[in-house]
Amino acid sequence: MEKFEKLHGIAAPMPLVNIDTDMIIPKVFLKTIKRSGLGVNLFDEMRYDRSGNEIEDFVLNKPQYRKAEILVAGDNFGCGSSREHAPWAIADFGIKCVISTSFADIFFNNCFKNGILPIVLPQEQVDLLMKDAEKGENARMTVDLEAQEITTSDGEVITFDVDAFKKHCLLNGLDDIGLTMEKANAIESFEAKMSQERPWV
C-alpha cells in the first residue's frame, strides 16, 4: 500500500448527504476481486447517462475536477452495504482523502485499509472546505497527516483527529498484509519452534 504523508491537490465538492456504497460503485461492478479498474465506474449512475455518455454537470466530469485527489462530501458518507469495492473505486480514481461530518463505520475502516484518509470534521469546517473546493482546480488544499492539519487555498489551517494506530498504518503504507509481514521473523521463529515441539502437527 502506498504511504500517505502529505497531499497537495484539487478538492472536489460533493455536498450530497447519505451517499451510499451503491452510489459509489453500483452492484453490477462487484464481480471483480481486483482492486484496480473500478475508478472509471466510480459514481457510475451519477457520472453517466443510460447511453454511457458523461453527464456534464456531475462534479468529477467537469474539467477542473477530473484530477481531484480530495473529496469534500456531505454527511453520512459511505453508508449502505459493506462492500470494499467502494474504497477500491475511490482509490483507483485517484482520490486519496475524503472529508465529511460523518462516515459509515465499515466504510470508514475500509478506507484506512486501502490507503485513503477519511477525515471527520464539524459541519462549519466542512462548509468552509466545501466553499474552498468550489473555487476549482486553482484552489488546492494540503492535507498533512503527520501534523494532522488541512490547509485551505487561502492558507487557513484546520486541525483534525485521527486514531494513532490508523495514522501509523497510513504513514507507513501498512495494510493488513503489511502489518502481518512486520511480524514475519516472529512468525517464522514460532513455526520453527512448533515444528520441533510438535512434529506431528
Coil, strand or helix: which one is 136?
Answer: coil
The least confident of 6-15, 94-103, 176-185 is 176-185
Q: What radius of gyration, in Å, describes the C-alpha atoms of the chain? A: 19
Q: Are 62 and 3 in contact (CB under 8 A)?
A: no
The pLDDT, as a whole number, for residue 196 is: 74
Q: Which residues pair with 79 in a beta bridge?
A: 20
Instruction: Report pLDDT digits (tens) over 112-170.
Output: 999 999 999 999 999 999 999 999 988 899 999 999 999 999 999 999 999 999 999 99
Instruction: Report pLDDT digits (tens) over 67-109.
Output: 999 999 999 999 998 889 999 999 999 999 999 999 999 999 9
The H or E element that residue 39 is part of is: none
> In sequence order, which residues have a C-beta less than 8 Å from that of residue 72 and are 6 or more positions away?
11, 12, 13, 14, 15, 99, 100, 126, 129, 130, 133
Query: Burial level of 16, CB count in 10 A (0-12/13-18/19+)?
Result: middle
The pLDDT, as a whole number, for residue 193 is: 67
Q: Are 100 and 74 in contact (CB under 8 A)?
A: yes
Domains of the chain: 6-197 (3.20.19.10)
Give the model's confidence band at 1: pLDDT under 50 very low, under 70 low, under 90 confident, else very high. confident
Within 10 angstroms of residue 156's Cβ, the number of other Cβ atoms is: 12
Q: Are 98 and 116 in contact (CB under 8 A)?
A: yes
The least confident of 1-10, 16-25, 26-35, 116-125 is 26-35
pTM of full prediction above 0.85: yes
Instruction: Tell me the one-letter amino acid at 143.
Output: V
> In sequence order, which residues have a C-beta less than 8 Å from that of residue 143 and are 6 or more positions away?
6, 7, 8, 70, 97, 117, 119, 149, 150
Q: Rounding to the nearest 10 degrees, give the CA dihedral for residues 10, 13, 169, 191.
A: -110
Give the model's confidence band at 180: pLDDT under 50 very low, under 70 low, under 90 confident, else very high. low
